[in-house]
Amino acid sequence: MLGAVAVATVCPAALTDAQKSAIDRITGGKGTYTAEEDVYKVTFPRTEVKVQVDGWSMHPFMGITSWAAFTPDGGERLMVMGDLALFPDEVNPVMSAALDSGLSVTALHNHFFYDEPRVMFMHIDGSGPVEALAGAVRKALDQVREVRRTSPVPARSFGGPAMPDKSSITPGPIDQVLGLKGQSSGGMYKVVIGRNAAAHGHRIGKEMGVNTWAAFGGTDDNAAVDGDFAMLESEVQGVLKALRGAGINIVALHNHMAHEEPRYFFLHYWGRGRAVDLAKAIKAALATQWE
């Protein structure tokens, strides 16, 4: 397992030529070295799918490029930070590959409006020996290639059976799984869990947006769940792994506030299946959190 990245104030040692060669060999890239920062960076332009932004054909040079940058992290270990440019059907397979390889996923968001097809950007980091670290990046990149090999054109939906026009979710089984009592509306069902923080000298909680929620629609046997997890920084990776392990799709990971104490990250998700199974997936993710 790769360790979490720690903030460093001093560059421990220069990257060796052997480490640079290993990064190229393992990732399949050809990196560039910046001596002033002691960083070796490999880039992977997304050329296999043409992207338009606001009706203009975008060259990968304009920002549709995946990259991973490596720098020493003490002894034989390196640190990596990167940003992967992904189409929606690539995001969750790539996230699972990254997490399973020991990388941390630190953000998932868009960089553009009116992009066609949609492009998302997933930020990663990690620390470890060059073989393990570069290998983890390679596994994420290989997952991109596998998705595009199977389906050259990015998918326009998650797939699965069509959702019913009218929802009729039974609250009881969900309450029993989550140990919570939610609210019903039009056959849909929603549970909200508040958390505590402080901002601008005031205590804030559930009603000010510091909350985790899950909303269920459809039928008991053909349901969708969407929602948001409010997570402390130390909880992010555990929640991601639990949700991905249960087949829940992650659709965004970002902050909602500034200067809050403690700092919170927010994760938005989408899942399909039996309502009670979706509730169990949410419960498993909740169980990874401190409170």
Q: What is the 3-state secondary structure (H, E, C) of the chain?
A: CCECCCCCCCCCCCCCHHHHHHHHHHHCCCCEEECCCCEEEEEEECCCCCEEECCEEECHHHCCEEEEEEEECCCCEEEEEEEEEECHHHHHHHHHHHHHCCCEEEEEEECCCCEECCCEEEEEEEEEEHHHHHHHHHHHHHHHHHHHHHCCCCCCCCCCCCCCCCCECCHHHHHHHHCCCCEEECCEEEEEEECCEEECCEEECHHHCCEEEEEEEEECCCEEEEEEEEEEHHHHHHHHHHHHHCCCEEEEEECCCCCCECCEEEEEEEEEECHHHHHHHHHHHHCCCCC
For residues 86 and 179, membership in a common domain is answered with no
For residues 178 and 137, membership in a common domain is answered with no
pLDDT of residue 71: 98
pLDDT of residue 73: 95
Domain assignment present for 239: yes
pLDDT of residue 3: 56
Domain range for 233 is 171-286
Domain assignment present for 42: yes
Domain assignment present for 206: yes
226-251 pLDDT per residue, tens: 999 999 999 999 999 999 999 999 99
For residues 75 and 179, membership in a common domain is answered with no
For residues 143 and 195, membership in a common domain is answered with no
Domain assignment present for 159: no
Domain assignment present for 72: yes
Q: Is the distance from CB of 256 to CB of 208 less than 8 angstroms?
A: no
Res. 209: pLDDT tops 90: yes
For residues 143 and 220, membership in a common domain is answered with no
For residues 77 and 185, membership in a common domain is answered with no
The count of structural domains within the chain is 2
Res. 291: pLDDT tops 60: no
Provide, rounded to the nearest whole percent, the portion of the chain with pLDDT above 90. 94
Domain assignment present for 47: yes
For residues 35 and 72, membership in a common domain is answered with yes
Domain assignment present for 92: yes
164-190 pLDDT per residue, tens: 999 999 999 999 999 999 999 999 999
Res. 1: pLDDT tops 60: no
For residues 142 and 22, membership in a common domain is answered with yes
For residues 47 and 139, membership in a common domain is answered with yes
The two structure tokens encoding residue 144: 């991109």
CATH number of the domain bearing residue 193: 3.30.70
Q: Is the distance from CB of 263 to CB of 237 less than 8 angstroms?
A: no
For residues 140 and 236, membership in a common domain is answered with no
pLDDT of residue 259: 94
Res. 276: pLDDT tops 60: yes
Res. 153: pLDDT tops 80: yes
Q: Is the distance from CB of 279 to CB of 173 less than 8 angstroms?
A: yes
For residues 33 and 67, membership in a common domain is answered with yes
Domain assignment present for 1: no
For residues 192 and 110, membership in a common domain is answered with no
25-59 pLDDT per residue, tens: 999 999 999 999 999 999 999 999 999 999 999 99
Domain boundary among 96, 116, 150: 150
